[in-house]
Structure 1
Amino acid sequence: MKIHITSVFVDDQAKAERFYVDKLGFVKKHDIPLGEDRWLTLVSPEAPEGTELLLEPGKHPAVPPYKTALVADGIPVAQFLVDDVHAEYKRLRDLGVTFTQEPAEMGTVTTAVLDDTCGNLIQIIQMN
């Protein structure tokens, strides 16, 4: 068994697409219109056949309180692996990305947490 698709609930798919593609560097895999929304998945350019990230419309009534609670407690909804957290932190900060946690050494990993502008916190992680 493998993880094929995972999702992040977003407030606005177009805004999320711009952030995840233009800032984080993911590439669009699927973009299929589904009424008002889209089946919109992204992949890492380093693994185009790897796990897809679905930018899931957050319209279900349970989503806003769920996202609000996670953000209030500082809990990231997803974690993305990077080669160098410090370099990625600098690159993203230079692009105007807001971080809620600067790079921090945590034993065998280094992490930082950013705001995806769509109601989520995302953690970037480097394996030390």
Structure 2
Amino acid sequence: MKIHLTSVFVDDQAKALRFYTEVLGFVKKHDVPVGGEDRWLTVVSPDDPGGTELLLEPAGHPAVKPYRDALVADGIPLAQFAVDDVTAEYERLRGLGVHFTQEPLDMGEVTTAVLDDTCGNLIQIATQPR
């Protein structure tokens, strides 16, 4: 068994697509209309286009807002993405105007930072020793 797809709920799929591709550097894999304004919209790592897909899922379900609001209020990231160097990625993203709620923090085995994805979520980036 392996993880094929995971998702983050987003307030605006077009805005999320811009952020996740133009800022974070993912590439669009699927963009299929599913009714109304909603789309089956996934992104993948450019380094692994056949790998795990991230679904930018519409946040329309009534349970989503209180769930995400509680996570953000407590500073809990919804997802974690691996990067080669958290400090370098932090500096790159800050240069693009990304807001961080946690600067790079060395925790021994892992270094992390937490950013606001502009779509209602906190996302953690992390570097672990190889």
TM-score (norm 2): 0.97
Structure 1 SS opposite 2:75: coil
Structure 1 SS opposite 2:57: strand
Taking every aligned residue pair, what percent have the same amino acid on both sides? 77
- What are the within-5 Å matches in structure 2 for residues 12-91 of structure 1? 12-36=12-36, 37-91=38-92
Gaps of 5+ in 2: none
Gaps of 5+ in 1: none
Structure 1 SS opposite 2:42: strand
TM-score (norm 1): 0.99
**Residue identity matched to 1:33:** P
Cα deviations by residue, 1:25-75 (Å, 9 ceiling, x for unpaired): 000000001112000000000100000000000000000000000000000
Count the aligned residue pairs.
128
**Residue identity matched to 1:5:** L
Distance in 2, Cα, partners of 1:88 & 1:6:
22
Distance in 1, Cα, partners of 2:55 & 2:89:
22
